Structure 1
Amino acid sequence: MPGLDHVTIDTRDAPTMIRFFESILGVKEGYRPPFPMPGHWLYLDDKPVIHLLFASRATDFPPGIFNHVAFSLFEFEPALARIKESGYRYEYRDIPETDLGQVFIYGPEGVKIELQYKRPI
Structure 2
Amino acid sequence: MLRLDHVTIDTRDAPAMIAFFENILGVKEGYRPPFPSRGHWLYLDDKPVIHLSLTERAHDFPPGIFNHVAFSLFEFEPALARIKAGGYRYEYRDIPDTDLGQVFIYGPEGVKIELQYKRPL
Does the TM-score normalized on the shorter chain lie above 0.5? Answer: yes
SS in 1 for 2:80: helix
SS in 1 for 2:36: coil
**Matching of residues 64-79 of structure 1 within 5 Å:** 64-79=64-79
SS in 2 for 1:101: strand
Q: Does 1:54 align with 2:54?
A: yes
- Looking at structure 2, the residues matched to 37 and 14 of structure 1 have their Cα atoms a distance apart, in angstroms, of 13
- Looking at structure 2, the residues matched to 77 and 10 of structure 1 have their Cα atoms a distance apart, in angstroms, of 30
Q: Where does the alignment leave 5 or more consecutive residues of structure 2 unmatched?
A: none
SS in 2 for 1:19: helix
What amino acid sits opposite 1:65 in the alignment?
I
Percent identical residues:
87
Q: Where does the alignment leave 5 or more consecutive residues of structure 1 unmatched?
A: none
Specify the alignment match of 1:43 in structure 2: 43
Number of matched pairs: 121
**Matching of residues 1-121 of structure 1 within 5 Å:** 1-121=1-121
- Looking at structure 2, the residues matched to 88 and 79 of structure 1 have their Cα atoms a distance apart, in angstroms, of 12
TM-score, normalised via structure 1 length: 0.98
SS in 2 for 1:81: helix
TM-score, normalised via structure 2 length: 0.98
**Considering only aligned residues, what root-mean-square deviation do their CA atoms show, in Å?**
0.6
CA offset digits 1:28-50 (Å, max 9, x no partner): 00000001101000011101100
Deviation at 1:111? 0.1
Deviation at 1:61? 0.8
What amino acid sits opposite 1:50 in the alignment?
I
